[in-house]
Amino acid sequence: MKTLLTGGAGYIGSHTAVAMVDAGHDVAVVDNFANSSAEAIARVEKITGKKVALYEADVADKERMMEILKTEMPDCIIHFAGLKAVGESVAMPVEYYRNNIDTTLTLLECMRELGLTNIVFSSSATVYGEDNVPPFTEDAPKGMCTNPYGWTKWMQEQMLTDAAKASKAECDRLKATGKEAGANEWKAPLSVVLLRYFNPVGAHESGLIGEDPQGIPNNLMPYISQVAVGRRDHLTVFGDDYDTPDGTCRRDYIHVMDLAEGHVKAAEYAVENKGTEVINLGTGSPYSVLEMVEAFGRACGHAVAYEIGARRAGDVQDSWADAEKAKAVLGWQASRGIDEICRDAWNWQSHNPQGYKK
């Protein structure tokens, strides 16, 4: 199968590129390096021993995307490209809506014109909002998001779902009337898989690729890693007065290679099926902030310094997946636990203390 990964030089995209090549599929990557570098793809090639076609382009640039897609004509597009920092999205909503929504609309227009039909989308557990009680099942109502980033995911899910529905209706109508599809009509029904990720963490076991946040990390695991390697003094734990066994929030941390392998199954599924499927990619097992700090200390061989601070605005107390649908529909489940997560995150961080720069 030929796959095209938008945002494929990023954290999850680069790991998915490895998993795709390992599964015997061809990979092309489109990235504008807004939050990544070409070095990640050079390392993907080193790990796999295979060439990855790399295009530097903005996915919202329709002319350029038409050229690239005409060259590649992928069986499946995996759409990772997007801006993802929650706090930044509150400060820069216009940039977030412009980038995240435009990239998806551009892809849909190109796909319609070229008769490409299969797309897997990077959504987030953030769409469950604050009112659902975990474990979250895919049929739970989408909730109110607490920030513009979350709303972009919410909206992109809706846009893709509506496009899939319209493509089916249009194809049924054309079939009934015996007419040919015009330039702006769907040539075949769309197949959309909306993957709701829980908390992707860890790194490829080679230590060659991993998460490389710019500036001060917003997320827990890169922050812990940077404290462990001496780049930062201590972690601030955001609140220990939650209604949980140790008072800290619980999350469903999933090894990024498990997540990557989930994308291989999702892309294969998208090619075989039509319509829209929403699928959680999580482990189904929650861990608290303090449990993660302890596990990392075991992996790196010394305690990770932390202090307890105030709650962070917008945090939900508990979030974890019901992971049954992925098992039933994709035949996939996460197989790596928190000790492997911390081992691989430490391997990446300790060998690349400044990320891809050194």
Residue 34 in contact with ligand NAD, rule: CB under 6 A: yes
> Going residue by residue from 61 to 80, which x/- string records binding to ligand NAD, judged by CB under 6 A?
-------------------x
Residue 156 in contact with ligand UD1, rule: CB under 6 A: no
Residues 160 to 219 in contact with ligand UD1, rule: CB under 6 A: 199, 218-219
- By C-beta, is 40 or 304 nearer to ligand UD1? 304
Q: Closest residue to ligand NAD, Cβ-based?
A: 10
Contacts of 262 (CB under 8 A, 6+ apart): 195, 281, 326, 330, 332, 334
Contacts of 251 (CB under 8 A, 6+ apart): 198, 199, 220, 286, 287, 319, 320
User: Which one of 11, 128, 149, 242 is the catalytic residue?
Assistant: 149
* Residue 149 falls in the annotated catalytic set: yes
Place of tokens 């972009």: 152
Nearest to 231 by CA among 85, 357, 349: 349
Hey, CA dihedral for 13, 18, 20, 21, is it positive or negative?
positive
157 and 117 Cβ atoms separated by less than 8 Å: no
Residue 330 in contact with ligand UD1, rule: CB under 6 A: no
Residues 8 to 67 in contact with ligand UD1, rule: CB under 6 A: none
CA distance 263 to 75: 14
Residue 86 in contact with ligand UD1, rule: CB under 6 A: yes
98 and 149 Cβ atoms separated by less than 8 Å: no
> Going residue by residue from 273 to 292, which x/- string records binding to ligand UD1, judged by CB under 6 A?
----------------x---
CA distance 193 to 119: 6
Among 150, 282, 284, 286, binds ligand UD1 (CB under 6 A): 150
Residues 256 to 285 in contact with ligand NAD, rule: CB under 6 A: none
Place of tokens 């893709």: 160
Part in contact with ligand UD1 (CB under 6 A); list of ranges 103-111, 172-180, 181-189, 314-322: 314-322
Residue 288 in contact with ligand NAD, rule: CB under 6 A: no
To ligand NAD, the closest distance from the beta carbon of 198 in angstroms equals 8
CA distance 327 to 307: 38
Residue 319 in contact with ligand NAD, rule: CB under 6 A: no
Place of tokens 């790399």: 54
Identify the DSSP state of 318. E
> Going residue by residue from 221 to 260, which x/- string records binding to ligand UD1, judged by CB under 6 A?
--x-----------xxxx----------x-x---------
288 and 308 Cβ atoms separated by less than 8 Å: no
Dump strand ranges (E) for 149-198: 191-197
Residue 255 in contact with ligand NAD, rule: CB under 6 A: no
Specify the amino acid at residue 215: G
Among 3, 20, 35, 224, binds ligand NAD (CB under 6 A): 35
56 and 34 Cβ atoms separated by less than 8 Å: no
Residues that bind ligand UD1 (CB under 6 A): 86, 124, 126, 150, 199, 218-220, 223, 235-238, 249, 251, 289, 312, 314-315, 319
Q: What are the residue numbers of the active site? A: 149
Residues near ligand NAD, by CB under 6 A: 7, 9-13, 30-36, 58-60, 80-84, 99, 103, 122, 124, 197, 200
